A and B are shown apart, each in its own frame.
Chain A
Amino acid sequence: MSTDARLDTSKVARTNGSTPATASKPNRAGSLANWADERLGLGTAMKKNLRKVFPDHWSFMLGEIALWSFVVLLLTGVFLTLWYNPSMGHITYEGSYDQLRGVGMSEAMASTLHLSFDVRGGLLMRQMHHWAAMIFIASMLVHLLRVYFTGAHRKPRELNWVIGCLLLLLGTLEGFTGYSLPDDLLSGTGIRAADGFLKATPVAGSYMSFFLFGGEFPGESVIPRLYIVHVLLIPGLLLGLIAAHMMLLVYHKHTQWPGPGRTEQNVVGFPMLPVYAAKAGGFFFIVFGVVAIMGGLLTINPVWKFGPYDPTKVTAGSQPDWYMGWPDGLLRIMPGWESVIFGYTISWNVMVPILIVPPLMLVILMLLPFIEGWITGDKREHHLLQRPRNAPTRTAVMVALMTFYGLAWAAGGNDIIAIKLESDINNITYFMRVAIFLGPLLAFWITRRWCISLQRHDNETLLHGYETGIIMRDPQGGYSERHAPIDGRRAYTLTARDRDHVLTAGEDTDEAGVAKPNSRTERVRAKLSAWAFGHNVQKPTAAELEAAHHHESHEAELQSGLDHPAEGRAMDDHQLRTVDEAPLRER
């Protein structure tokens, strides 16, 4: 207990000086908290976690967008369940939407129309739910990109990366099942496509389809089944995985950008309470607000215009939601190859774009940290982030994957592109067939060169200072630009990175001339390592820096003859944070 003379104890204890102090009666909230703490021990656990330090950077909040949009999904989804009726029973619509009154449809569709037109706030909730779903999955993707580009997937966070990939998969499936629930023309078209995909599986296809639909497509049971998957099964899994994701985050502590005072052993940032909680909580309201505004102002999935599902109908612009767009695009550009083996038709045209490539991409995505770990042979823990340019090959790999994704995605909107750009849909398809292979390679090459050039530029800045924009004329009449040295923190930040090590394969044989067991994989690894890191530009050595600074001060002396000094400081980089702004460090 503090014995500070200034401490005012009158709030917590009464004393008349001659009798011992008694604790004042705690207020209600206090006693309740005390009651709970004595039984649950929350206080001690919270004390540590509430002071947990989080570093601060906008890109660290991308994952939060996903978290908060998931919360919005839960809230709006529960509202929808109160009116939505997952039944394929046939009824005649008699609600207030004129254009469909008297039309026969499933109860699922009718209840969705009821939600849209006859439940107060129902359409807003439907649209918010759908916009939140789109944002949920999009934010997971941008979050994933941030993690990968900054190297946050490296040891010890590989498993959290895998959890993230599973969240992405489950979110996509959740979105697909939700999209199917209203039983309108588009969702029916989507289910029918899914039925086709199942049936394209060799041998087991028709059995799987019959199992899902409880008989022949469309049957009577698919909507009730998808409903349970949508409101119970996947949300449960998502909640569990999100909890695991967050627990690992707290356990590993957040990564941070390198800078003065930031090491692999500490975290510099703000405590959970009050700063970070306020910011995160505020961000929830922003996410909620953006979703609410979009739900209120922008039409999404106007099921009343699609009308009820009917296998004889189809509409132009039948696309899945955006996150299913890239497999759809692959499907659209795939040539119609089929082969017949032992009387079974193998539909490559469906299998390759739907059943082979997307799962393969997911596996590649999950394995990325492990592949990288194997090539670098790096077993250290990493808590300091890397700038994308300082891992040129990694950055280029992700840009290549993004290019592939983007092209496939664009192919999924080929009809819309054709009308909006007044071009020929066939030509777009031919173009995409080539671009899907060449584009990623080109993107890889350009990105890697770009990163390496940026690395070179960083070294230049370190060695010769930054360009002040001041042009000087020497007595001979030649012009040169004056460079001024960068300040210490900036130099520290630029050099706060490891040198890359290119692995070399050991001898193939040991001293006795016997082939070593792992020499073959080791040679492959050495080759990959040389390919991945051999071109990188390493930061200057201390001696190089020393020499450069020596040269610089010499130059400064020469310039001191000027009657007014060349002022370049004004152009210093102010974006970089200073340490005193980050008041807390955690060990």
Chain B
Amino acid sequence: MRLLNRTAGRLSRHRRGPLAGLVVLLLGLLLTGGLYTALSPAQAETQASETEQVAEGKKLFLASCAFCHGKNGEGIATVREGYQVGPSLVGVGAAAVHFQVDTGRMPMANSAQQAPKKPVVFNDEEIAALAAYVASLGPGPAIPDEQDYSIEGLSEEEREEAIARGGQIFLTNCTACHNFNGAGGALPRGGYAPSLDGVEPVHIYEAMLTGPQQMPNFSNGNLGPEEKRDVIAYLESLKAAPEYGGFALGGLGPVSEGLFAWIVGIGGLVVAAVWIASHTTRSTRSKADAS
């Protein structure tokens, strides 16, 4: 199955290449074949494990996802405006499924403006099966590999460059929604860009690759795989670095700073003023007692 995913991943990476059309056609045929095998009782030996995974995925899909996304992942049309039952999953790719299910967003509990993160429902194998099934519906980005987003292999100097470059890419492309600290921000109509604190590198990569919800899709044409890697390296470096200035106050910027200035600063000083004003009397009283 990994193989299939990887093929699809490469494909999307080179989608704009001259041979892309041909490859897509070939892959489409391959997938139709795969799907056919998955559905038909007769099984070829070599494809056994993959088709089994897809079949397993389909079973899970029918049980947990189909009532919103349709029996074949074709999506269910909007019932009324602003209300989405479930979009089509054809061509969203394994990366989208892995991102949505592994962060607990899917299966969505009830239709809302935005699917919130929840405790993950499926184990790794089940997620892989679901991803394989959805990937089999149409070509899309594959789940990225560790080496896609890790800077382990680079020299010290290259790493530093990667981090600095990633910081600039992050500030250019992401902070408008996610805030300079990755602390998150509000979007119109109740939407929000979530905090990036504690999000795993693979999910960051997938988020960029698949553009969930109101987040734009940073396809590899927009933001190359290395640039994605650098963004992740930057975010990881922020996590590893100490908070140089002390408590970060939620990393929300001037609003939380203002609150602290009032509550801790003015609040504390007013308490001090009350304390000082109430203490003179005692000194004079003792003087009065002494005389």
Q: Kindly state whether residue B175 has any CB partner on chain A within 8 Å.
A: yes
In the complex, what residues of B have CB within 8 A of residue A186's CB? 253-254
Contact B245 A127 (CB under 8 A): yes
In the complex, what residues of A have CB within 8 A of residue B73's CB? none
Cross-chain contact of A315 among B179, B244, B261, B277 (Cβ < 8 A): B179
Contact A425 B186 (CB under 8 A): yes
Q: A319-B254, A322-B261 are in contact. Are A58 and B168 (CB under 8 A)?
A: no
Contact A581 B281 (CB under 8 A): yes
Interface residues of B in 228-267 (CB under 8 A from A): 234, 237-238, 241, 243-249, 251-262, 264-266
Contact A99 B266 (CB under 8 A): no
Sorting the interface of chain A by its residue count into under 10, 10 to 19, 20 to 34 or 35 or more gives 35 or more
Bound complex: CA of A344 vs CA of B285, how far in Å? 72
Q: How far is the CB of A289 from chain B (nearest CB, A)?
A: 9
Residue of B whose beta carbon sits closest to that of A409: B258
Kindly supply a per-residue 1/0 record for chain A positions 433-453, scoring 1 wherever the CB is within 8 Å of any chain B CB and 0 otherwise: 000000000000000000000
Contact A290 B272 (CB under 8 A): yes
Q: Kindly state whether residue B273 has any CB partner on chain A within 8 Å.
A: yes
In the complex, what residues of A have CB within 8 A of residue B268's CB? 290
Interface hit among A100-108, A334-342, A352-360, A459-467: A100-108
Bound complex: CA of A318 vs CA of B254, how far in Å? 8
Q: Kindly state whether residue A139 has any CB partner on chain B within 8 Å.
A: yes
Interface residues of B in 162-207 (CB under 8 A from A): 163-164, 167-168, 171-172, 175-181, 183-190, 192-193
Q: Kindly state whether residue B274 has any CB partner on chain A within 8 Å.
A: yes
Contact B192 A418 (CB under 8 A): yes
Contact B257 A413 (CB under 8 A): no
Contact B245 A123 (CB under 8 A): yes
In the complex, what residues of A have CB within 8 A of residue B19's CB? none
Bound complex: CA of A313 vs CA of B178, how far in Å? 13
Contact B168 A307 (CB under 8 A): yes
In this complex, the member of B113, B244, B246, B274 whose beta carbon has the largest number of chain A beta carbons within 10 angstroms is B246
Contact A102 B164 (CB under 8 A): yes
Contact A304 B244 (CB under 8 A): yes
Q: How far is the CB of B267 from chain A (nearest CB, A)?
A: 10
Interface residues of B in 116-141 (CB under 8 A from A): none
In this complex, the member of A116, A185, A425 whose beta carbon has the largest number of chain B beta carbons within 10 angstroms is A425
Bound complex: CA of A296 vs CA of B243, how far in Å? 12
Tally B residues with Cβ within 8 Å of A.
66
Contact B288 A580 (CB under 8 A): yes
In the complex, what residues of A have CB within 8 A of residue B246's CB? 127, 296-299
Bound complex: CA of A98 vs CA of B240, how far in Å? 12
Q: Kindly state whether residue A583 has any CB partner on chain B within 8 Å.
A: yes
Bound complex: CA of A201 vs CA of B254, how far in Å? 27
Contact A321 B188 (CB under 8 A): no
Contact A425 B280 (CB under 8 A): no
Residue of B whose beta carbon sits closest to that of A300: B257
Q: Kindly state whether residue B215 has any CB partner on chain A within 8 Å.
A: no
Contact A317 B252 (CB under 8 A): yes
Q: A102-B164, A304-B244 are in contact. Are A320 and B254 (CB under 8 A)?
A: yes
Contact A58 B269 (CB under 8 A): no
Q: Kindly state whether residue B79 has any CB partner on chain A within 8 Å.
A: no
Q: Kindly state whether residue A134 has any CB partner on chain B within 8 Å.
A: yes
In the complex, what residues of B have CB within 8 A of residue A305's CB? 180-181, 238, 251
Contact A316 B257 (CB under 8 A): no
Q: Kindly state whether residue A131 has any CB partner on chain B within 8 Å.
A: yes
Q: A62-B270, A419-B186 are in contact. Are A314 and B161 (CB under 8 A)?
A: no
Contact B270 A142 (CB under 8 A): yes
Bound complex: CA of A298 vs CA of B243, how far in Å? 10
Bound complex: CA of A397 vs CA of B269, how far in Å? 27
Q: Kindly state whether residue A182 has any CB partner on chain B within 8 Å.
A: no
Q: How far is the CB of A7 from chain B (nearest CB, A)?
A: 20
Residue of A whose beta carbon sits closest to that of B287: A583
Cross-chain contact of A138 among B177, B243, B261 (Cβ < 8 A): B261
Contact A61 B254 (CB under 8 A): no
Bound complex: CA of A117 vs CA of B180, how far in Å? 19
Q: Kindly state whether residue B284 has any CB partner on chain A within 8 Å.
A: yes
Q: Kindly state whether residue B276 has any CB partner on chain A within 8 Å.
A: yes
Q: A279-B280, A299-B246 are in contact. Are A426 and B189 (CB under 8 A)?
A: yes
Bound complex: CA of A100 vs CA of B261, how far in Å? 29
Bound complex: CA of A307 vs CA of B259, how far in Å? 24
Residue of A whose beta carbon sits closest to that of B185: A316
Q: Kindly state whether residue A325 has any CB partner on chain B within 8 Å.
A: yes
Q: Kindly state whether residue A407 has any CB partner on chain B within 8 Å.
A: no
Q: A99-B241, A319-B253, A583-B284 are in contact. Are A294 and B186 (CB under 8 A)?
A: no
Cross-chain contact of B266 among A139, A300, A315, A423 (Cβ < 8 A): A139
In the complex, what residues of B have CB within 8 A of residue A414's CB? 186
In the complex, what residues of A have CB within 8 A of residue B185's CB? 316-317, 415, 419
Contact A103 B258 (CB under 8 A): no
Q: Kindly state whether residue A533 has any CB partner on chain B within 8 Å.
A: no
Q: Kindly state whether residue B160 has any CB partner on chain A within 8 Å.
A: yes
Cross-chain contact of B261 among A135, A279, A412, A413 (Cβ < 8 A): A135
Contact A135 B266 (CB under 8 A): yes
Q: How far is the CB of B83 from chain A (nearest CB, A)?
A: 15
Contact B265 A134 (CB under 8 A): yes
Q: A98-B163, A138-B262 are in contact. Are A322 and B254 (CB under 8 A)?
A: yes
In this complex, the member of B187, B245, B260 whose beta carbon has the largest number of chain A beta carbons within 10 angstroms is B245
Q: Kindly state whether residue A283 has any CB partner on chain B within 8 Å.
A: yes
Q: Kindly state whether residue A241 has any CB partner on chain B within 8 Å.
A: no
Q: Kindly state whether residue A109 has any CB partner on chain B within 8 Å.
A: no
Q: A135-B265, A317-B179 are in contact. Are A307 and B254 (CB under 8 A)?
A: no
Cross-chain contact of A316 among B175, B284, B285 (Cβ < 8 A): B175
Q: A98-B164, A298-B247, A316-B193 are in contact. Are A426 and B180 (CB under 8 A)?
A: no
Contact A134 B179 (CB under 8 A): no
Cross-chain contact of A100 among B164, B179, B186, B262 (Cβ < 8 A): B164
Q: A56-B280, A305-B180 are in contact. Are A415 and B186 (CB under 8 A)?
A: yes
In this complex, the member of A314, A412, A414 whose beta carbon has the largest number of chain B beta carbons within 10 angstroms is A314
Contact B269 A135 (CB under 8 A): yes
Q: A316-B179, A325-B258 are in contact. Are A185 and B171 (CB under 8 A)?
A: yes
Bound complex: CA of A568 vs CA of B61, how far in Å? 76
Cross-chain contact of B175 among A117, A279, A314, A427 (Cβ < 8 A): A314
Q: Kindly state whether residue B278 has any CB partner on chain A within 8 Å.
A: yes
In the complex, what residues of A have CB within 8 A of residue B160's CB? 98, 101-102
Bound complex: CA of A413 vs CA of B160, how far in Å? 35
Q: What are 10 A-B pairs with beta-carbon distances under 8 A?
A: A103-B164, A117-B244, A135-B265, A138-B262, A279-B276, A287-B269, A298-B247, A298-B264, A313-B175, A317-B179
**Other 20 A-B pairs with CB < 8 A, given A416-B186, A416-B252:** A58-B278, A61-B273, A64-B273, A99-B163, A138-B266, A275-B280, A297-B247, A298-B249, A299-B247, A300-B249, A302-B245, A307-B171, A315-B171, A316-B175, A317-B185, A322-B258, A412-B255, A415-B185, A425-B189, A582-B284
| Smallest CB-CB A-B distances: 5 pairs | A316-B185, A322-B258, A299-B245, A134-B261, A424-B190
